Amino acid sequence: NTFPMAKLTLENFYSNLILQHEERETRQKKLEVAMEEEGLADEEKKLRRSQHARKETEFLRLKRTRLGLDDFES
Amino acid sequence: QSILLGNITKPKKNIPEGSRQCELLKQAEATLGSGNLRQAVMLPKGEDLSECIAVNTVDPFNQINTQYGTVTEFCSEASCPLMPARPRHEYHWADGTNIKKPIKCSAPKYIDYLMTWVQDQLDDETLFPSKIGIPFPKNFMCVSKIILKHLFLVYGHIYQEEAYLNTSFKHFIFFVQEFNLIDRRALTPLQGLIEKLGSKTDKCFF
């Protein structure tokens, strides 16, 4: 209990990390199910998968970069 | 006692089985279980490897940054006059650009230099692009490996004092193991701890 803030930060970080990991897997499964239901062709599936992956990558990048001065209008 | 820390920091306390502290640690271990963490570091389907490495390099940096402040009471100029390394080795700081000739300095000073250097790399848009669509440079893997090796040194110096840091360290180790980012040889000073963290049976992992 000597370092409550540090502990809290880490606890939050790790519960988020695990949650985000699970959510990501759920999104992937949902995509597969949706594509199956729509009866898409293999080529079409490939395209949708890569579009989905690009969105996930963009999300990772946004998550990584912190807010800077440029993010605000003066 | 740790090889890396020598007799500079306090010896590790034994946590008796059944004590309140041990129960709390078990609880922490349950929520932050190895299984989940091992999976969390794996490259997701279709994900860009560099993007995955980048986010996993920035996270431990931020964690060390916020937590190093809490350990300064036992890592000071007086308690750690030199950055300890393997027996008969010590780390001297040089970054190759601002400081070319390695300088002898205390552990807090060394860590300060190191973290500032890492911060500069992370802030460098050509190395860690923040704009959507801008690719990582060709030498990205090389640079991130160097950064991770540096961060490992800091973990090595501060891990044992704060229970929750172990989770952070564990996450870090799982990640570098998953992608083979730090040389096995470089990890040897903390090999014992790393093996302990990795074993599933060891509930009270420190």
Residue B126 lies in a domain: yes
Residue A59: predicted pLDDT: 92
B contacts of A15 (beta carbons < 8 Å): 31
**Interchain CB distance below 8 Å, B164 and A58:** no
Residue B176 lies in a domain: yes
Residue B40 lies in a domain: no
Binding residues of B for Zn(2+): 75, 80, 157
**Residue B153: which pLDDT band, with cuts at 50, 70 and 90?**
confident
Residues 166-185 of B with CB under 8 A from A: 167-168, 171
Residue B12 lies in a domain: no
Distance from CA of A64 to the nearest CA of B (A): 5
Residue A55: predicted pLDDT: 95
Mean pLDDT score, B197-201: 57
CATH of the domain at B78: 1.20.140.30
**Interchain CB distance below 8 Å, B52 and A10:** no
Q: Please list the alpha-helical segments (H only) found in B44-190.
A: 49-71, 107-123, 140-158, 165-178, 184-187
Residue B166 lies in a domain: yes
Residue B72 lies in a domain: yes
Q: Which structural domain, as residue segments, surrounds residue B97?
A: 48-200
Instruction: Measure the CA–CA gap between A44 and A46, rounded to whole angstroms.
Output: 5
Mapped onto helix, strand or coil, the DSSP state of residue B163 is coil
**Residue B2: which pLDDT band, with cuts at 50, 70 and 90?**
very low
Q: B71-120, pLDDT tens digit by residue? A: 777 788 888 888 876 666 678 888 878 888 888 888 889 999 999 999 99
Q: Which of A47, A64, A66 to mutate to test the interface with B (most CBs of B within 10 A)?
A: A64
- What is this model's ipTM? 0.81
**Interchain CB distance below 8 Å, B52 and A6:** no
Looking at the predicted structure, is the pLDDT value of residue B37 above 50? Answer: yes
Structure tokens, B51: 């993007």
Instruction: Measure the CA–CA gap between B182 and B54, rounded to whole angstroms.
Output: 15
Q: Quick one: how far is CA B73 from the chain centroid?
A: 19
Residue B20: predicted pLDDT: 56
Residue B68: closest CA among B169, B175, B202: B169
Residue B17: predicted pLDDT: 63
Residue B160: predicted pLDDT: 55
**Interchain CB distance below 8 Å, B70 and A6:** yes
Residue that wins the pLDDT comparison between B186 and B35: B186
Q: How do beta strands B90-91 and B83-84 pair?
A: antiparallel
Per-residue pLDDT of chain A (74 residues; tens, 9 = 90+): 456 777 777 888 888 888 899 999 999 999 999 999 999 999 999 999 999 999 999 999 998 986 666 667 76
Report the mean per-residue pLDDT for chain B: 77
Nearest to B168 among A10, A50, A62 (CB): A10
Highest mean pLDDT among B70-74, B125-129, B130-134, B183-187: B125-129
Residue B96: predicted pLDDT: 77
Residue B181: predicted pLDDT: 95
Number of cross-chain residue pairs from A and B with Cβ atoms under 8 Å apart = 78
Residue A41: predicted pLDDT: 95
Q: Which of A5, A7, A12, A23 to mutate to test the interface with B (most CBs of B within 10 A)?
A: A7
A contacts of B123 (beta carbons < 8 Å): none
Structurally, chain B folds into a number of domains equal to 1
Residue B97 lies in a domain: yes
Residue that wins the pLDDT comparison between B95 and B128: B128
